[in-house]
Structure 1
Amino acid sequence: MDLSLSMKDDLLNIRNLGTRLAVEMRKLTSNFRLGFGTFVDKNISPFSYTAPKYQINPCTGYKYFPVCVSSFGFRHLLSLTDQVNNFNAEVQKQRVSRNRDAPEGVFDAILQAAVCAERIGWRKEASHLLVITTDDVPHLALDGRLAGLVQPHDGQCHLSDVNEYSASDKLNFTALIPGTTAEILDQDSQNVMQLIVNAYNNIRSKVELMVLDSPEDLSLSFSATCQDGLSQPGVKKCGDLKIGDTVSFDVSVEARSCHPAGTNQTFTIKPVGFRDTLEVTVTYNCSCGCSEQIETASSRCNSNGTYTCGICDCDPGFLGARCECGEEESSGDVSQNTCREAEGRTVCNGRGRCLCGVCVCYESEFGIISGSYCQCDDFSCARYKGVLCSGHGVCDCGECKCHAGYIGENCNCTTETSSCLSDDGHMCSGKGNCVCGKCQCIEPGAFGETCEKCPTCPDACGTKRDCIECRLYQTGRLADNQTCHRLCKDDIITVEELNTDNPDTAVCIYKTENDCVMRFTYSEEESGRSILRVLKDPECGKAPDAVTVLLAVVGSILLIGLILLAVWKLLVTIHDRREFSRFQNERSRARYEMATNPLYRQPISTHNVDEVYSMLSKPYNGAT
Structure 2
Amino acid sequence: MFTLIFIFFCAYSVNTVFSTGCESKGNCEECIQEVDCAWCMEPLYPLNPDGSKPQTHCRLKNDTTKWCRDASKVSPKSGMRILQDLPFSNDTDNPLQVKPQRIKLALRKGEKYELKFQYKSTENYPVDLYYIMDLSHSMKEYKDDLARLGSKLAETMRNITTNFKLGFGSFIDKVELPFVSTNEKKLKNPCPGCASPYSFKNHLSLTSNYEEFVGNVKAAKVSGNLDSPEGGFDAIMQAIVCKETIRWRKQARHLLVFSTDAEFHIAGDGKLAGVIEPNIAKCYTDDSEYLKYDYPSVSQLNYVAEENNINIIFAIVKKPYASLKESYATLSKHIKNSNFGELNSRDANSVINLILDNYKKIVQSVKFTSNSTSEIDIKFSSTCKSPIPGRCNNVHIGEVLDITATIQARECLPDGQKSTFVYLKPEALHQGLMVEIEVLCDCPCSSKTHPSYVPNAKECSRQGDLKCGVCTCSEGRFGRNCQCDSSISTSEDIKNCIMEGSNEICSGFGKCQCGKCECDSSSSRDEKIYGQYCQCNNYSCKKENGLLCSGRGKCNCGVCECQAGYSGDACQCEESTTNCIAPGSDSICSNHGSCVCGQCECKMDENRYSGKYCEDCISCPAQRCEELRHCVEYKAYNEGVYKTETPPNNCTNFNPEVSKKLDDIPDKDVKKCRILDGNRCIMNFDYYYEERTLIVRALDHKVCPVPPNVLAWIAGVVTSILLAGIVMLIVWKVFTTIHDRREYAKFENEKKALKWHNSENPLYRGATTTFANPSYNRPTSFSPDPVISTSSEPDIHVLDEDK
TM norm. shorter chain > 0.5: yes
Q: Which residue of 1 aligns with 2:173?
A: 41
1:321-400 correspondence runs (5 A): 321-326=480-485, 331-332=490-491, 338-339=496-497, 341-342=499-500, 348-365=506-523, 367-400=527-560
Q: Please state how far the C-alpha of 1:111 moved relative to its aligned partner.
A: 1.9
Q: Which residue of 1 aligns with 2:427?
A: 272
Q: Please state how far the C-alpha of 1:226 moved relative to its aligned partner.
A: 3.6
One-letter amino acid of the counterpart of residue 445, structure 2: C
2: CA distance, partners of 1:317 / 1:374: 19
- Check the 8 A contact 1:122/1:153 in 2, yes or no: no
Q: Which of 399, 402, 405 does residue 247 from structure 1 map onto?
A: 402
When residues 27 and 447 of structure 1 are mapped into structure 2, their CA distance, relative to the original with a 3 A threshold, is farther
One-letter amino acid of the counterpart of residue 40, structure 1: I
- Check the 8 A contact 1:224/1:238 in 2, yes or no: no
Q: Please state how far the C-alpha of 1:183 moved relative to its aligned partner.
A: 2.2
Cα offsets for 1:314-343 (capped at 9, x unmatched): 44555432344555666456x666545546
Amino-acid identity (%): 28
When residues 252 and 303 of structure 1 are mapped into structure 2, their CA distance, relative to the original with a 3 A threshold, is same
Q: Which residue of 2 aligns with 1:554?
A: none
- Check the 8 A contact 1:392/1:406 in 2, yes or no: yes
1: CA distance, partners of 2:629 / 2:265: 35
Cα offsets for 1:469-516 (capped at 9, x unmatched): 9xxxxxxxxxxxxxxxx9999x99999xx9xxxx998487999xxxx9
Q: Which residue of 2 aligns with 1:556?
A: none
When residues 430 and 353 of structure 1 are mapped into structure 2, their CA distance, relative to the original with a 3 A threshold, is closer
Cα offsets for 1:538-575 (capped at 9, x unmatched): 999xxxxxxxxxxxxxxxxxxxxxxxxxxxxxxxxxxx
Q: Which residue of 2 aligns with 1:312?
A: 471
Cα offsets for 1:288-310 (capped at 9, x unmatched): 22223433443323344432222
Q: Does 1:2 align with 2:134?
A: yes
* Residue range with higher mean Cα deviation, 86-95 or 378-387: 86-95
Q: Which of 200, 222, 235 does residue 96 from structure 1 map onto?
A: 222
Q: Does 1:238 align with 2:238?
A: no
Q: Does 1:77 align with 2:198?
A: no
- Check the 8 A contact 1:353/1:359 in 2, yes or no: yes
TM-score (norm 2): 0.50
2: CA distance, partners of 1:368 / 1:330: 24
TM-score (norm 1): 0.63
One-letter amino acid of the counterpart of residue 47, structure 1: F
- Check the 8 A contact 2:310/2:428 in 1, yes or no: yes
Of structures 1 and 2, the one with the larger relative CO (CA 8 A, separation 6+) is 2
1:264-303 correspondence runs (5 A): 265-281=420-436, 286-291=441-446, 292=448, 293-303=452-462
Helix, strand or coil: the match of 1:34? Answer: strand
2: CA distance, partners of 1:200 / 1:368: 54
Q: Which residue of 2 aligns with 1:117?
A: 243
Q: Which residue of 1 aligns with 2:755?
A: none
Q: Please state how far the C-alpha of 1:248 moved relative to its aligned partner.
A: 1.3
Q: Does 1:57 align with 2:189?
A: yes
- Check the 8 A contact 1:36/1:76 in 2, yes or no: yes
Cα offsets for 1:236-287 (capped at 9, x unmatched): 4333322213131415252634556566654544332212144455556643
2: CA distance, partners of 1:442 / 1:323: 60
- Check the 8 A contact 2:382/2:390 in 1, yes or no: no
Helix, strand or coil: the match of 1:252? Answer: strand
- Check the 8 A contact 2:550/2:570 in 1, yes or no: yes
Q: Which residue of 1 aligns with 2:336?
A: 178
2: CA distance, partners of 1:421 / 1:19: 48
One-letter amino acid of the counterpart of residue 376, structure 2: S
2: CA distance, partners of 1:135 / 1:510: 48
Helix, strand or coil: the match of 2:135? Answer: coil
1: CA distance, partners of 2:594 / 2:330: 23
Q: Please state how far the C-alpha of 1:139 moved relative to its aligned partner.
A: 1.9
- Check the 8 A contact 2:263/2:327 in 1, yes or no: no
Q: Which of 379, 384, 387 does residue 222 from structure 1 map onto?
A: 379
Q: Please state how far the C-alpha of 1:158 moved relative to its aligned partner.
A: 0.7
One-letter amino acid of the counterpart of residue 199, structure 1: N
Cα offsets for 1:10-39 (capped at 9, x unmatched): 344434333443454344333333322222
Q: Please state how far the C-alpha of 1:370 moved relative to its aligned partner.
A: 1.5
One-letter amino acid of the counterpart of residue 536, structure 2: C
- Check the 8 A contact 1:215/1:265 in 2, yes or no: no
One-letter amino acid of the counterpart of residue 395, structure 2: L
Q: Which residue of 2 aligns with 1:133?
A: 260
Gap regions ≥5 residues in structure 1: 61-66, 470-485, 525-529, 541-624
1: CA distance, partners of 2:209 / 2:634: 38
* Residue range with higher mean Cα deviation, 159-168 or 275-284: 275-284
Q: Which residue of 1 aligns with 2:311?
A: 156
2: CA distance, partners of 1:177 / 1:418: 25
When residues 375 and 466 of structure 1 are mapped into structure 2, their CA distance, relative to the original with a 3 A threshold, is farther
When residues 12 and 442 of structure 1 are mapped into structure 2, their CA distance, relative to the original with a 3 A threshold, is farther
Cα offsets for 1:123-153 (capped at 9, x unmatched): 4455211112112225234134434443343
- Check the 8 A contact 1:445/1:456 in 2, yes or no: no
Q: Please state how far the C-alpha of 1:196 moved relative to its aligned partner.
A: 1.3
- Check the 8 A contact 1:158/1:182 in 2, yes or no: yes
Helix, strand or coil: the match of 2:254? Answer: coil
Q: Please state how far the C-alpha of 1:42 moved relative to its aligned partner.
A: 3.0
One-letter amino acid of the counterpart of residue 91, structure 1: V
2: CA distance, partners of 1:255 / 1:317: 35
When residues 151 and 325 of structure 1 are mapped into structure 2, their CA distance, relative to the original with a 3 A threshold, is closer
- Check the 8 A contact 1:381/1:398 in 2, yes or no: yes
1: CA distance, partners of 2:578 / 2:148: 40
Cα offsets for 1:186-218 (capped at 9, x unmatched): 354553333212211111122233444x556x2
Helix, strand or coil: the match of 1:379? Answer: coil
What is the aligned length? 494
2: CA distance, partners of 1:356 / 1:191: 84
When residues 379 and 539 of structure 1 are mapped into structure 2, their CA distance, relative to the original with a 3 A threshold, is closer
Cα offsets for 1:346-365 (capped at 9, x unmatched): 66444445555433334444
1: CA distance, partners of 2:341 / 2:601: 28
- Check the 8 A contact 1:235/1:417 in 2, yes or no: no
- Check the 8 A contact 1:58/1:70 in 2, yes or no: yes
2: CA distance, partners of 1:504 / 1:130: 32
When residues 247 and 99 of structure 1 are mapped into structure 2, their CA distance, relative to the original with a 3 A threshold, is farther
1:600-615 correspondence runs (5 A): none
1: CA distance, partners of 2:687 / 2:309: 40
When residues 219 and 405 of structure 1 are mapped into structure 2, their CA distance, relative to the original with a 3 A threshold, is farther
Q: Which residue of 1 aligns with 2:286?
A: none
